[in-house]
């Protein structure tokens, strides 16, 4: 593509174009100076750790033919100077990949908790009904049998637009994506055309980035503000049980549907929930009719996730019965209330709950199951994470558990013992212990477990690593729990 055509110089405002660009041809886009191919347009993205402007010369030396920058760079190739490199990158990525979202059906899911499970359910509903559906989120990018790992919940705009274009090329015209607050404020999803947007909930998290809950909520509402007006067919699906839904609704002009487990006035309302060890049964009330639903997931919060997914499926397919039937065969999500099978009569569960709200909802669900004791293993991230929630996490774990083993999660450069002590600071209870090494903590919890107990391993979920110091160490929690249970069974 000719650079002059890509830039759309007649309609897009640039501060300055340095050098001659008329004959420049662009065949590749990159923001990583290690990833330069023939005829690359390189974006000097400023970041918290590295500033892409520092690598401008390296990009030039490796063969980049033009740079996009927001401050002076000393190179001989053409430079397009802009106010905001990240927003410009999102716009040019959309143009370079020929606006793939414009001819796809996209479902965006945002909220503090439930994004991953909801997107997985949505994909399952479509795939089970023979409609190929892509998925983008915490567990990577999925379509057909392809799985691409990504470090962020919502990838950067280059990866996102390229992935959507690839899905279209492979005949995938439906995609569901987790949309993080970071992605929204950083402009990663600008120029992405969502047809449906889902709000799960808003609870205490990421205040190290957003500073206040109001700012955090504003970030989430951006997804719904960009849907446009209600006459364009766009639909917002909001959790009526969350108080912030009203704020989002006030900032959204699209058609709004609500789902709820408490308010019968919601378009998608669940009642008569029955919680069992391996499934949840409930009645869905929709347009005055009642539908029996079986979900293989446990807990009221997973009923809400199922309602959100069914509403999103109905928004595009208008066939609720097929969605309900498909839900019954959903196999769950790795690291989300994942049951580890064993022959000991122990109910072992690995989960990702790492916020006070997520932890309390998960443990409240466990309390409703038949059990003798609940033994919980939990820690908290160190480094630049929001440490104001540590005491709440410790309090909730101790309140719902008969015994708690506190351990390391991703301590980074912070002392794990300091983190664990902060989790119990001021709490006048003693049914806990500290085990610094997470692998040893798993062994300790399994050693304590007896028939009829629930062993709850939370905080890591699907994450295949631990961040200790500056090292990223492989760590597969579900596998370690499985091995510990098997060893116990043969003792």
Instruction: List Cβ<8 Å contacts ≥24 apart for 216-219.
Output: 216/181, 217/244, 217/247, 217/248, 219/181, 219/182, 219/184, 219/185
**Contact residues for 457 (Cβ-Cβ < 8 A; gap 6+):** 348, 349, 350, 351, 376, 377, 442, 445, 477, 481
pTM score: 0.86
Enter the tokens of residue 109: 């899911």
Instruction: Report all structural domains of the chain as residue ranges with CATH numbers, in order of start.
Output: 3-97 (3.40.1390.10), 101-328 (3.40.1190.10), 338-490 (3.90.190.20)
Among residues 102, 171, 103, which one has the least CA distance to residue 134? Answer: 171
Residues annotated as binding site for ATP?
111-117
**What is the DSSP pairing of strand 268-275 with strand 280-286?**
antiparallel
Give the separation between CA 255 and CA 240, rounded to whole angstroms.
15
> Quick one: angle between helices 300-317 and 356-367, nearest 10?
110
Terminal CA-to-CA distance of the chain, rounded, Å? 66
Output DSSP code: residue 427. -
Which among 239, 203, 123 has a CA at the least distance from the CA of 386? 203
Kindly report, residue by residue over 345-364, the tens digit of the pLDDT. 999 999 999 889 889 999 99
> Can you give the pLDDT of all 491 residues of the chain as single tens digits?
999 899 986 666 688 889 999 999 999 999 999 999 999 999 999 976 789 999 999 999 999 999 999 999 999 999 999 999 999 999 999 999 999 999 999 999 999 889 999 999 999 999 999 999 999 998 889 999 888 888 777 889 999 999 999 999 999 999 999 998 878 878 888 899 999 999 999 885 545 554 577 777 777 888 998 887 666 789 999 999 999 999 999 989 999 999 999 999 999 999 999 988 888 999 999 999 999 999 999 889 999 999 999 999 999 999 999 999 999 999 999 999 999 999 999 999 999 998 898 899 999 999 988 899 999 999 999 987 778 899 999 999 999 999 999 999 999 999 999 999 999 999 999 999 999 999 999 999 999 999 999 999 999 998 989 999 989 999 999 999 999 999 999 98
* Secondary structure of residue 410 in the 3-state scheme: coil
Retrieve residue 458's tokens: 């939370």
DSSP string, 214-231: HHHHHHHHHHHHTT--GG
Tell how strand 140-143 and strand 133-137 pair up: antiparallel
Annotated binding site: 33, 111-117, 152-154, 180, 188
């Amino acid at each position: 593509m000719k650079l002059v055509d890509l830039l759309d110089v007649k309609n897009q405002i640039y501060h300055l174009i340095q050098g001659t660009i008329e004959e420049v041809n662009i065949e590749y886009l990159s923001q990583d100076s290690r990833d330069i191919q023939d005829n690359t347009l390189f974006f000097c993205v400023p970041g918290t750790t590295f500033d892409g402007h520092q690598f401008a010369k390296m990009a030039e030396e490796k063969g980049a033919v033009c740079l996009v920058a927001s401050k002076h760079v000393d190179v001989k190739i053409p430079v397009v100077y802009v106010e905001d490199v990240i927003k410009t990158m999102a716009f040019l990525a959309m143009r370079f990949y020929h606006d793939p979202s414009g001819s796809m059906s996209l479902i965006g899911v945002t909220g503090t908790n439930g994004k991953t499970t909801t997107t997985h359910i949505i994909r399952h509903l479509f795939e089970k009904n023979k409609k190929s559906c892509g998925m983008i989120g915490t567990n990577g990018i999925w379509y057909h049998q392809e799985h691409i790992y990504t470090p962020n919940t919502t990838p950067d705009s280059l990866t996102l637009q390229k992935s959507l274009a690839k899905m279209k090329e492979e005949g995938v015209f439906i995609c569901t994506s987790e949309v993080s607050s970071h992605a929204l404020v950083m402009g990663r999803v600008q120029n992405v055309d969502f047809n449906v947007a889902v709000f799960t909930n808003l609870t205490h998290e990421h205040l190290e980035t957003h500073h206040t809950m109001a700012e955090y909520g504003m970030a989430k509402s951006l997804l719904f503000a960009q849907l446009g007006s209600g006459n364009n067919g766009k639909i917002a699906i909001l959790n009526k049980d969350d108080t912030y839904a009203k704020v989002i609704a006030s900032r959204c002009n699209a058609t709004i549907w609500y789902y709820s487990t408490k308010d019968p006035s919601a378009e998608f309302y669940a009642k008569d929930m029955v919680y069992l060890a391996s499934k949840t049964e409930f009645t869905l009330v929709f347009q005055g009719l009642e539908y029996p639903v079986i979900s293989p997931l446990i807990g009221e919060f997973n009923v809400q996730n199922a309602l959100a997914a069914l509403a999103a499926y109905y928004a595009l397919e208008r066939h609720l019965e097929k969605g309900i039937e498909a839900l019954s065969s959903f196999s769950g999500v790795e690291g989300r209330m994942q049951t580890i099978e064993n022959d000991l009569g122990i109910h072992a569960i690995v989960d990702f709950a790492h916020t006070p709200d997520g932890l309390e909802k998960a443990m409240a669900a466990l309390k409703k199951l038949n059990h003798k004791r609940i033994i919980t293993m939990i820690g908290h991230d160190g480094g630049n994470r929001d440490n104001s929630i540590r005491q709440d996490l410790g309090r909730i774990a101790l309140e719902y558990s008969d015994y708690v083993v506190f351990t390391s999660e991703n301590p980074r450069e912070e002392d794990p013992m300091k983190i664990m002590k902060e989790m119990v600071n001021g709490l006048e209870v003693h049914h806990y212990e500290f085990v610094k090494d997470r692998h040893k903590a798993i062994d300790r919890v399994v050693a304590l477990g007896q028939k009829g107990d629930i062993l709850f391993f939370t905080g890591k979920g699907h994450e295949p690593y631990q961040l200790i110091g500056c090292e990223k160490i492989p760590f597969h929690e579900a596998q370690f729990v499985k091995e510990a249970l098997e060893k116990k069974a043969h003792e």
